[in-house]
Structure 1
């Protein structure tokens, strides 16, 4: 189990570089998706297709 080592958890001691990369990729994906959606909406509004 997790308590086998009898160590206390130290706040801020975990390596979170993978989580930071994943979150950065998610934010980038969301921003790019929003930009594409806005461009499509503008195109549809201009040409009324």
Structure 2
């Protein structure tokens, strides 16, 4: 079994996936909040 050495693994793919996920979550939350405000205004 290989010895683990911290900081040697290439994590660019994981970072890219995480950044994409965070972007998706942020945009989704904004869309949901806008939709809720719209519902509140329409239902008066």
TM-score (norm 1): 0.82
How many residues are paired up? 44
Give RMSD over aligned pairs. Answer: 1.4
Structure of higher CA gyration radius: 1
Structure 1 residue runs without a partner (length 5+): none
> Helix, strand or coil for the counterpart of 1:23?
helix
Say which of 23, 26, 45 aligns to 2:40. Answer: 45
> Helix, strand or coil for the counterpart of 1:30?
helix
Work out whether 1:12 is the aligned partner of 2:12: no
In the TM superposition, structure 1's runs of 4+ consecutive aligned residues that sit over 6 Å from their partners are none
Structure 2 residue runs without a partner (length 5+): none
